[in-house]
Amino acid sequence: MLRDMSNAPTLHLDLAAVPARHHTWLGVTIKVVAALAVVGLLFLLFHFVLAPYLGPMEDAIARLGAWAPLIFIAAFLIGTSIFVPESALAIAAGAMFGLWMGLVWVVLAGTLTAIFIFWLGRKALRNRIERVLERHPKIKAVDAAASSAGFRLMVLLRLSPLNYTLLCYLLAVSRARFRPYLLACLGMFPGNLSTVYVGYAARHAADLARQVKASGGHLPAGDSLVHEITLFGGLAAAIIASVVVARVAMRAVRAAAAEAAAKAH
């Protein structure tokens, strides 16, 4: 069991240092447009560069069977622990495993990684992490707010645009308790859904383009225009929802941090 850190020194995260683009409607628009642009770029990558390898990749994943998600989870844990972007791995999961199974493996991998980083930061790297954080003046407070607001604030932090790995390490060296920290991983779901959806949609678009070309410009059998509109409309809705949720969460996090600071004084 992880020991109680109630007497641990306090670290702080300056939420005012988070750029304004994360919580304005202009920022929402920019993020949505950027996400759709990423889908387009991934489509071009899949269609024009990776197309010859997609079939063998599917065969390799099929041959691996149950090992495929286990390998992905291990890669996610190792990669995100050293600050490989979580979103890039979630996009890859959507492309490899599809929307729903990709989401399952990303949520599971993200939760296991959060547990691992919490243990690593609290048991093995606490002093080193604190020294690193002290050299970055923009990072100033998670502990006071996390200790007073607990589960609610940690869910909001997970919903916010703060970096996944950095947040895990910050909470690991704060006075946050393990159980609410673990339950707060539920807050990762909206962001995971939108990023996995990006990978799935880009891969689907590349596959669809290839099938349409092979069938002389017609949708493949069993497909329909309504289905395609629904799929890509769902992508846009998921991206918009996750960005709006992040914006609202960031506003609530700032209010909770201000309230905790006021109580501290």
> At residue 7, does pLDDT exceed 60?
no
The whole-number average pLDDT for the span 196-203 is: 90
Instruction: Report yes or no on 12 lying in a domain.
Output: no
**Helix/strand/coil (H/E/C) assignment for every residue in the chain:** CCCCCCCCCCCECCHHHCCHHHCCHHHHHHHHHHHHHHHHHHHHHHHHHHHHHHHHHHHHHHHHCCHHHHHHHHHHHHHHHCCCCHHHHHHHHHHHHCHHHHHHHHHHHHHHHHHHHHHHHHHHCHHHHHHHHHCCCCCCECHHHHHHHCHHHHHHHHHCCCCHHHHHHHHHCCCCCHHHHHHHHHHHHHHHHHHHHHHHHHHHHHHHHHHHHHCCCCCCCCCCHHHHHHHHHHHHHHHHHHHHHHHHHHHHHHHHHHHHHHHHC
pLDDT for position 3: 43
Is 148 a member of any domain? yes
Most confident of 18-27, 69-78, 159-168, 234-243: 69-78
Question: Under 8 Å CB-to-CB from 27, ≥6 apart: which residues?
Answer: 20, 21, 243, 247
Residue 246 and residue 156: Cα distance in Å, rounded? 8
Question: What local confidence, expressed as pLDDT, does residue 109 receive?
Answer: 97
Position 252 scores a pLDDT of 80
Residue 210 has pLDDT above 90, yes or no: no
Residue 230: is its pLDDT beyond 60? yes
Q: Which of 4, 170, 165 is nearest to 87 (CA)?
A: 165
Q: Which residue has the higher pLDDT, 36 or 144?
A: 36
Instruction: Round the average pLDDT of the chain to a whole number and report it.
Output: 79
136 domain-assigned? yes
Q: How far is CA 237 from CA 97, 105, 199, in A?
A: 21, 22, 15
Residue at 8 is within a domain? no
In this prediction, residues 244-260 reach a mean pLDDT of 77
Residue 260 is predicted with a pLDDT of 61
Instruction: Indicate whether 110 belongs to any domain.
Output: yes
Kindly state the average pLDDT of the residues 195-220: 85
The domain total for the chain is 1
Q: What is the pLDDT of residues 96-149, one digit of tens each?
A: 999 999 999 999 999 999 999 999 888 877 777 666 666 655 554 555 555 555
Identify whether 58 is part of a domain: yes
pLDDT of residue 254: 76
pLDDT band at 209 (very low <50, low <70, confident <90, very high): confident
Indicate whether 91 belongs to any domain.
yes
Per the domain annotation, does 14 fall within a domain? Answer: no
Can you tell me the mean pLDDT for 239-247? 84
Summarize the confidence of residues 31-53 as an average pLDDT: 76
Task: Print the domain residue range for 156.
Answer: 21-264
Residue 183's pLDDT band, with cuts at 50, 70 and 90, is very high
Find how far residue 81's CA is from the centre of its chain.
13
Q: Is the pLDDT of residue 10 over 50?
A: no
